Structure 1
């Protein structure tokens, strides 16, 4: 259940992430999960459901789009073809299988599964789940993983089309590019350069089948301001002060 959109970079640099995804959240922590859907389902009912087993037909609806129930909120963003699920103060009893779902009036609704585990030390995590940058600039995200995941595949993936950058150098071009560097011990770093507005959206760090969502916001860079100050020649203490032109550039 996602929009088939070409990731705006070189296709040879990417592979598609597995649909079997797992998310580990720290006890009493919170998480925001984006659920993308096909644009043709904009007017359809969206919902978030839970099941103790990995069978969609057995799941129970927890909330519909634009509802808040206790520590759970589901908000639809029809202009961007996704809805977000925010879960707060998570406990062990919240462990299980969840589905992003859209009621399409068929025998089986459109759905996408996610397995959630809640424990004291997450398997994969980031320090900040929301990052921002300016057009033409760079942004860096550090993704941490626990011992035992050193040999797992590390990827940086975009939610809306499930395209991923892996641990190798990407092409350098006039368009934005991505580099993924693993320290081999406890974290890997994602560097996105040459940012564009179209890079805004939801991504996730992926280590094996474990993921953690990250939201990227790219805004237009502020124009560089140039101030010109021309002074006249003056004489002070026998020292000639010649006219000078000062240029002061304030970078965004």
Structure 2
């Protein structure tokens, strides 16, 4: 056992170490019918090596799609797959166009080393081709009075579907591009290029236009937030008035009646009206009490006179009258004794 361990240590310097000299992004997602560009970085020592792009999860069974040692097209934007090497940037890029959902899977960036003793240096990435919708920017912002543009992207199978622009929460607000692929009014313009993008332009933004909207194609939809910032205020230059002459008298301009000044005046008028009403009610209450007291005294006086006349007609009852208690409320009533 010790001999095996010593033998292993003696062989370590001869075991090849293969570091990762090629790197790329782990995953790429794209709408069906769209395009992707994948950057593949490599070590400077690979500047003169052949680079390639192939499909597969194992380098031994990878299907080559593009190589730098093959003749490239003069119009890579229309090619299915194109590759471009830039040694100065130590990077080669791969572009794939018009992708289908069936083309989802594993791909790899590879650098060919050119000998059978060492495998090529590669880096894997996963490509996801999906159908649906997306937007280039999920939030757009513009100043009040200006315009903003939203790019709504859709997959190939939605090319013939109706495209709509809706305010979130109210389907009655939806604006459709229609069969002609366009719509325009004073505030919104919609244009569908029928190749994967329809463009929405919001014109003459107002503060009430801020909020959430939806790009819609068929049954698919994606949210977009629109922000509106207040218009920047412009300050006019202030010109100083000419110096007053000795013969002229300048009076300060009258203060305009503003909403605030009118409110303060109205408050004062309302206070005066309330106080006046209270004083009037108190006065009426005092007057009513005095009238009631006078009326009561008159009633008692009449009653006393009636009793006196009745006993005058019947002198025999005068003795009883002397024992009848009589309450007088004030001096005016007591004066009746003079009768």
Q: TM-score, normalised by structure 2?
A: 0.30
Whichever structure has more strand as a proportion of its residues is 1
Larger RCO, structures 1/2 (Cα 8 Å, 6+ apart):
1
Higher helix share: 2
